[in-house]
Structure 1
């Protein structure tokens, strides 16, 4: 118990408050991305990190509203209810509850392997495309323009192509905010650039009676808990909720894994799943929307001196205490919030990483670029881009599995085939085609040797196809010899070629070779 609830330190207090001062304005901005009123972002910033803290394995992971999950939320809900309305807000809370239950169940079932459900090409393509959409969604705010069209990209293009609609004051505020936030990072990682930009903008807005678009009414008060949600809409949110649960977990899992590696400490994907599940359940019952782990806030937490999970709880408690005072932010120009989002996500548009993947592998390049394009095209339903990317990755895997890598060489009258990897019924014919081509090219062949030294596994269907190849070679008058069969492949081979061409019979196999599952359970030798 003590390992899960360590004593809080001064570093936890300083780090927790430092993160909260960044989280509060960010939560207002990310609420806009999700399509809910700004005060809902404050709800999602308070209870989730507070209740998640006892369950997480990483002392640095900071939970709350994040850009990618907010975009996924908007995509899931925008076609069901009018953005920003009461029914929309209720659906956002229900979606958070679905995401939370899904993650908690996966964690309790100890299937943390879902942290790796998306391959690197899929994740890279989706993240870059989603970041472009997030930036595009903030263009109207940064220019304080009101497009008369729908669609994230379409609205951004409408603004950018009509300079007469630009508000010069909003543009100056946006530029100033970017300079302050980015400049603060260059001064010191703990320099509160976001806080300075927000406070300065609020003071300036109130002092000059700024007539542009501002955050507006923030009810304040205290968080109220409720389970009165539109559960009848659950079927329409189930797929999106599961996608968010899986895709959104990639970031907190990466955060925990990265910091654990740097500190040479263990981490648990299962505990992080449970922690993220609890956070989203808390967000749902407190009127928030789906949340996740923030890399930037987690990095700040670590750099500010956090040592235990208490830092996250302190962040949540501070945010909860600040909600009654949120009315002080009502005069904050929305252009500033848009610029804050821009500074948080622009580095996620990693085009060089996409090109590097494409140069390294044409097929993986197809996956990364396909995911990138599918996410842009499917906006605002970006979860479809993720599904398309995972589908592409699966197809690429199948394409690779359709052929077995191998080398062949001819030594006088002997053809030596050296297959690599896994042989199964789908790719075994590729090996047969290579044999036929080599025999046609070298009619003097009298012997065939198949070397299994580099074969990882042979399934029964693959062994059956290999037996057909061997029989064809024998019928053609060749002497066949099969060598270096690994223990885990002998059973499948013995079932079809036992007692012939160097393959042992089933009776000749050792007990653990006849029952391959025991090899996986057999403890290592001392």
Structure 2
């Protein structure tokens, strides 16, 4: 008897005992991470807690993956900063309002994609483009935190110029911040090697709070964080909506690549079903919740999802439990008042430094020089155009699409003659962009063989035939018949049968 691969909806609604421990464990990791990513997005630290609490609760019922942990993530935070920093000064009321509107737009876009079942767009991002962008974005994230981990306030704007100034002026460094930062990175990186659930982040936060509170620490600290639960946010700056459209679109699609990758990986490893459309809906609802909580765009976290799975999560409700734990922590945020900002910056660096993958990027040269060029160009544009990195994404996508279309235009033609006449066999994908090459090749063959009266078109080598190509073939047959030739179609591919029936049938019967 074959076992059904469809999920049991009754079981999916039940909470497994392992979800409680997993949700609690991830919440302890999410609290410091959320505040660190809020700073990366240019938002106050407390908004990071809001989007670590409300969105995962809202998304739990709609999620497809039992492991995916929704909340603030590094790449989406960086993209948020890239979009908003051109419109308002980070941390201001205007900036916070724009961030909420951006989250709302991302939520509407993802919800729409899921509802109309276009979740396959998650697979349309070119891997070379993603590798190039992710590596460059990770470098920018690390550089953006250099002034924080060194306790310096550079007088120069811009991530790279400010970082260069910071690195070249060691006399301004706050050595207590540097020591805490190095310790934090070491605890997180070495802790992962000991065990994936090693609480390196928590230990680093504890050491940082104790050091700042009991010793003479002169570096910047987190300071007073508003306590209490978030109030619903309804007042959005609608006049800025046109300025956010492109950025929201980039975040909605590119920001989904990470949760999609996480969910697909674990679905394959655990042999469980996964639905991209359903996940788009869940991520859309999560961003709507982030918007109304006064937060910023969110996504799926790889590190927290991995910890969720290892901690024993069995259903999607583990994410809701994480959100509930963070929510109940909000009245007690004063315990983190003395947390050095350097620790938060180091948490960000330790989390994303593994995303810098030069070997993988340069390794593309082994397989395809054009694809490697796309990856490398996206990498360089992301660095050069910072903070407008969304433009680099758009250019990278455009280059990948252009390369694909150029390849799709290339067809291979076989032809031969026998007593039955001229045989013509095009191979490849036949669409409006490549149809003209078939027409030109066919005309050239007829010019070389003026004695031919019978023509046999072999279509078995064509993977796809669109309407424009079908009409072109019809015109070829009409022209050939007018010239006194008999045309026969052979090996019509199954995917083209409908076109044969609707477009060519009258020619075949004439």
Matched, 1:402 2:402: no
Question: What displacement does 1:269 show?
Answer: 1.7
Residue in 1 that maps onto 2:345: 338
| Aligned residue among 87, 95, 98 for 1:88 | 95
Match of 1:123 among 107, 110, 130: 130
- 2:248 is aligned with 1:241: yes
In 2: Cα distance, 1:23 partner to 1:53 partner = 16
Post-superposition offset of 1:302: 0.4
Q: Deviations over 1:325-358 (max 9, x none)?
A: 1111121222211211111111212222223334
Residues 1:421 and 2:424 aligned together: no
Partner of 2:53: 46
Q: 1:460 to 1:39 in 2, by over 3 A?
A: closer
Tell me if 1:287 matches 2:294. yes
Match of 1:180 among 153, 178, 187: 187
Aligned to 2:282: 275
Flag the 1:144–1:442 CA change in 2: closer, same or farther, 3 A: farther
Partner of 1:520: none
TM superposition shift of 1:88: 1.0
Query: Relative to structure 1, is the Cα distance of residues 415 and 147 closer, same or farther in structure 2, using a 3 angstrom cutoff?
Result: farther
Alignment of 1:163-174 (within 5 A): 163-174=170-181
Gapped regions of structure 1 (runs ≥ 5): 508-526
Counterpart pick for 2:305 among 288, 298, 321: 298
Q: Deviations over 1:439-487 (max 9, x none)?
A: 9999999997653221123345435655777899999999987543335
Q: TM-score, normalization: structure 1?
A: 0.86
Q: Does the CA contact (< 8 Å) of 1:494 and 1:506 recur in 2? A: no
> In 2, are the aligned partners of 1:413 and 1:445 still within 8 Å (CA)?
no
Aligned to 2:225: 218
Q: Residue 464 of structure 2 aligns to a residue in which SS?
A: strand
Q: Is contact 1:60-1:306 (8 Å) kept?
A: yes
Match of 2:168 in 1: 161
Cα distance change, pair 318–492 in 1 and its aligned pair in 2 (3 A):
closer
Q: For each residue in 1:235-260, what CA deviation from the matched residue of structure 2 results, as whole angstroms up to 9, or x when unmatched? A: 22233222212221111122222111
User: Equivalent residue of 1:249, what SS?
Assistant: helix
Q: CA shift at 1:64, angstroms?
A: 0.7
Identify the match of residue 206 of structure 1 among 204, 213, 216. 213
- In the other structure, the counterpart of 1:55 is 62
Structure 1 residue 70 displacement after superposition: 0.4
User: Residues 354 and 476 from structure 1, CA distance in 2 versus in 1: closer, same or farther, beyond 3 angstroms?
Assistant: farther
Mapped pair 1:505 → 2:504: no
2:74 is the alignment partner of 1:67: yes
Counterparts in 2 of 1:230-269, with a 5 A limit? Answer: 230-269=237-276
Q: After superposition, give the CA deviation of every residue in 1:364-409 in whole Å (9 maximum; x if it has no partner).
A: 2233223223322322122222211221122112212222134557
Q: Which residue is equivalent to 2:14?
A: 7
Kindly tell me: are residues 200 and 488 of structure 1, through their superposed partners in 2, closer, same or farther at Cα, counting changes over 3 Å? closer
- TM-score normalized by the length of structure 2: 0.88
C-alpha distance in structure 1 between counterparts of 2:229 and 2:503, whole Å: 72
Contact 1:403 1:428 in 2 (8 A): no
Provide the aligned C-alpha RMSD in A.
Answer: 3.1
SS of 1:364's partner is helix
Unaligned runs of 5+ in 2: 1-7
Contact 1:412 1:445 in 2 (8 A): no
Q: Aligned pair in 2 of structure 1 residues 441, 377: CA closer, same or farther (>3 Å)?
A: farther
Query: Do structure 1's residue 386 and structure 2's residue 393 form an aligned pair?
Result: yes
Deviation, 1:495, is 8.7
1:358·1:368 contact (CA, 8 Å) conserved in 2?
A: no
Alpha-carbon distance between aligned partners in 2 of 1:487 and 1:249, rounded to the nearest angstrom: 34
Q: After superposition, give the CA deviation of every residue in 1:43-95 in whole Å (9 maximum; x if it has no partner).
A: 11111112211111211110111001101111111111111112111211222
| Greater displacement, 275-284 / 294-303 | 275-284
> How far apart, CA to CA, are the structure 2 residues paired with 1:505 and 1:154?
69
Matches within 5 A, 1:297-336: 297-336=304-343
* Distance in 2 separating the partners of 1:109 and 1:464: 30
In 2, the alpha carbon distance for the partners of 1:220 and 1:342 equals: 27
Aligned pair count? 503
Contact 1:425 / 1:463 at 8 angstroms: preserved in 2?
no
Of 142, 153, 162 in structure 2, the residue corresponding to residue 146 of structure 1 is 153
Tell me, yes or no, if structure 1 residue 366 matches structure 2 residue 367.
Answer: no
Q: Answer with 313-322 or 170-179: which moved more.
A: 170-179
- SS of equivalent residue, structure 1 residue 420: strand
Q: Secondary structure in 2 aligned to 1:288?
A: coil
* More displaced 10-residue stretch of structure 1: 101-110 or 338-347: 101-110
Match of 2:111 among 104, 112, 117: 104
SS in structure 2 at match of 1:3: helix
Does the CA-based 8 Å contact 1:460-1:493 persist in structure 2? no
Q: Distance in 2 between matches of 1:284 and 1:459?
A: 42
Please state whether the residue corresponding to 1:296 is helix, strand or coil: helix
Q: Is the 8 A contact 1:354 1:369 kept in 2?
A: yes
Report the equivalent of 1:192: 199
Q: State the alpha-carbon separation in 2 of the partners of residues 478 and 365 from structure 1.
A: 48
Distance 1:480 1:100, change over 3 A: closer
Distance 1:362 1:409 in 2: 34
- Shifted more, 201-210 versus 267-276: the winner is 267-276
Shift of 1:192: 0.6
Q: Tell me how far 1:229 sits from its aligned partner.
A: 2.8
